[in-house]
Every structure is written in structure tokens, then in C-alpha cells.
Amino acid sequence: MDRIALLKNPIQEYRWGSRTAIPSLLGLPSPSERPAAELWLGAHPKAPSRVRVDGMWQSLDKVIERNPDSVLGKRIAERFSRTLPFLFKILAADCPLSIQVHPSLEQARAGFARENRLGIALDAAERNYRDPNHKPEILCAITRFEALKGFRPPQDVLKLLGRVCDEALSHELALLRKAPDGLGLRQLLTSLLSMDSFRKGCVIERAVEGASQCADMDRAFWWVMELKGSYPEDIGVLSPLIFNLVALEPGEAIFIPAGELHTYLKGMGMELMANSDNVLRGGLTPKHVDVPELLMIMDFRFMHPQKLRPEPGRQPAERIYDTPAAEFQLSAIGVSEGISFLSERDRSVDILICMEGSARIQGLKNSDSESLEKGMSVLIPAAVGPYQIVGEATLYRATVGRHS
């Protein structure tokens, strides 16, 4: 396969999604009848994109299976077992996603094999590992975006929880004061997730009552009340007081490594990750929660979250978000009069989506080209070689990582 090809991408209709953000981008009726949570651009077997080849729409995973070297490039095909190593998404959250963590590669392989041996169906609700891959990811804000990322330092947790439910959690807070480290955070979270329903209800009510008196002091308290409205019986209501609350402005990003507990609260963003759908959930969800497995793979180190800002690429049109991931690299491309984009000569597979304006993509080895408008996307196989983008447009580019 040596042609630039248009993509048709599946929409995931999860309950937390927006009825306007993705439909408006794609030129569909807005608001939509059902929440449009994620647009998937990739070859994950759960929901692969379709690609136009020889005048026919074909499943991208099957196209790659038949043409791994021409689509991915020979080196990348060998490196990643003849599969597309990344999954590109647009995520649009009108309300919070589940509290979650993703496994490491070793944990994913072991968990996937174990659940296969137990005969758990891949689409079973109680399945934890749906593929044998890890899922590091980057989230880049398109609109203002709020998220929880990693544990707060223990002293901050003590201060925030102590302000709203010191008596209700006196035992847990005493343990954390005695061990203000990763062990203390593990003990705190284990106790919260293991509470009986009566005590859990009392803790939630006390925390929400206290948060209502402090909402103007810290946005974390506002989020406690907001989460209570959607999940009144879920101890995850306390999560903004335990995990770092991050607000991203458009263009800012965060990187989520294996083991780091996080959730996305509200906003629209570009999400790029290793090609996996493995999620271990800890709350704020009606879906399966496996507390022992979650605690086993979670990283309990506390941290101050770092925002990623794009670095200049080889040319003025491209700005790159650098991460340690081998599977993917995200960049923003802005073309205008006098500023075009020219890809590398030695490149692998690219997926591009146009977010604003219009552009033309031209292969330099032949006359192959495609025009893109807002919401349109393309696959550019490795066999196309170098290409140029001209026009007046903002695009995002997903490709294989620099470190692969």
C-alpha cells in the first residue's frame, strides 16, 4: 500500500461523553442523540478505523495484516510484531471518567494470559486485561481540560482530608501521619476502597458537607461536591483531595505512565497511547472494579504533576510533545501562507487529523495527494515516503516514537 488514504473512524458512545464536541468537529448533527465520548483513529481490533483502498472501505487492522512492511515500514513492522503500535483518539468528556490505572507491559502480558487460562471472554464485564499490551498515554488539551493525576504529597492529603472529614477518617489519617510516604498512601487507599457501605456513606456525607463550606478555597472541594452529584455512594468522591488536580489550557499536555492512577474530569483533548484497551478501575464508574488487582499494579509514589508543552520540531510548522514512549509521538502542525510542512524522508506510518481550516497533503515521490477539511483524517503509509502539507490549517499528527 503506497497511497495516502482517507479514514473513517468509529465513535465510542460512553455515558460520560459530550453530545456536541465530536459531532461538531465531524460536521454531524449536534447535539447528538447519544453521548460521543471518543473518536478512535487506529487499528485496535475492538474498533478499527476503515481506510479507503482501491475504491473500497476496508478495516485498517486487516489492511496492515496484509501489507505490514508498506504501511508500517519494514523496521517498525519487525519491532512491533506487524501491528500499528499506537491508538489515536479524540476524547470529549462532559463528566468524569472512572478512576483508573494502566498496567505495565509485563503486567498486561501476565494478566491477559491468566484470564485466557481462566476462560474469561474478551468482552466479559469482569475482564481486566483485553489485550497483552501496556498503555502509556499522552493527553493534549483542545479546550480547557481538568484531570486528576498521581497522588498528592501526604502532607497535602492530610491537610485537605483533615479539613472536611478529620473525625470520620481519624484512623486512616493517623496511619498516614505515622507513615507520610507511599506505604501510608497505600494504607489510606486500601482502607477507603475496602470500607463497608454504612461507613462509606457516613464518610461521603461528612466530606461533602465540609467541602460545601470550603468550595471557594480550593477547586478540589468543588469537585468533591460535583462528583457526589453523579456518584452519591462512591468513595471516589474523595479522589480530588487525594490525587493532584491538574488544569490544562489548550495546547498543554500530560503524560500518564504505567501504574499512575488518574482520571479525566472534563474537557476535549487529543489522546495518543500504545495500542491497548487495558484499564483497571477504582471508582466513579458502574463498570467492573477489581480492588486487589488495582492495588497490585498501582504506583503509590507521590509527585507534583508536570505539564508538557510542545518543543519546536525541525521546521516552524511542527511542534512536538516529547515522551519516553517508544510506540508513539504526538505533534501539532500549523500551516499557513508561506509556512508549509515537509515530513522526514525516513519515516514510518502517520495518521493526521485536521482540526481547523483546510489543507492539501502531497506525496513527493508521485502525484498522490488528498485534501483535508475540518474533521477529516488520513493514513499516510511508510511506502508513500516524504510528503508536504500546504494550506491554512491546524492538524495533529500521530506517528511512531522517536525512541523506537
Catalytic center residues: 281
Residue type at position 85:
P
Question: Rounded to 5 degrees, what angle do the CA atoms 125, 131, 136 make?
Answer: 105
Question: In this structure, are residues 140 and 330 in contact, taking their beta carbons and an 8 Å threshold?
Answer: yes
Give the C-alpha separation, 290 to 367, whole Å: 53
The closest of 161, 146, 154 to 245, measured between CA atoms, is 146
φ, ψ of residue 109 to 5 degrees: the values are -65, -45
251 Rama class: left (phi>0) / alpha (psi -120 to 50) / beta:
left
| Alpha-helix residue ranges (DSSP H) falling in 11-52 | 21-26
Give the C-alpha separation, 327 to 338, whole Å: 32
Give the C-alpha separation, 219 to 119, whole Å: 45
- The number of C-alpha atoms within 13 Å of 186 and in the hemisphere containing its C-beta is 14
Give the C-alpha separation, 312 to 341, whole Å: 13
Give the C-alpha separation, 35 to 18, whole Å: 5
Give the C-alpha separation, 239 to 374, whole Å: 37
CB atoms within 10 A of CB 328: 25
Give the C-alpha separation, 29 to 178, whole Å: 56
Strand segments (E) across 197-349: 243-248, 253-256, 262-274, 280-283, 311-312, 318-321, 329-335, 341-342
Question: Rounded to 5 degrees, what angle do the CA atoms 330, 331, 337 make?
Answer: 160
Give the C-alpha separation, 56 to 13, whole Å: 26
| Alpha-helix residue ranges (DSSP H) falling in 179-308 | 182-194, 197-212, 219-230, 239-242, 291-297
φ, ψ of residue 127 to 5 degrees: the values are -75, 130
Task: Supply the DSSP symbol for 10.
Answer: P
The number of residues in the chain equals: 404
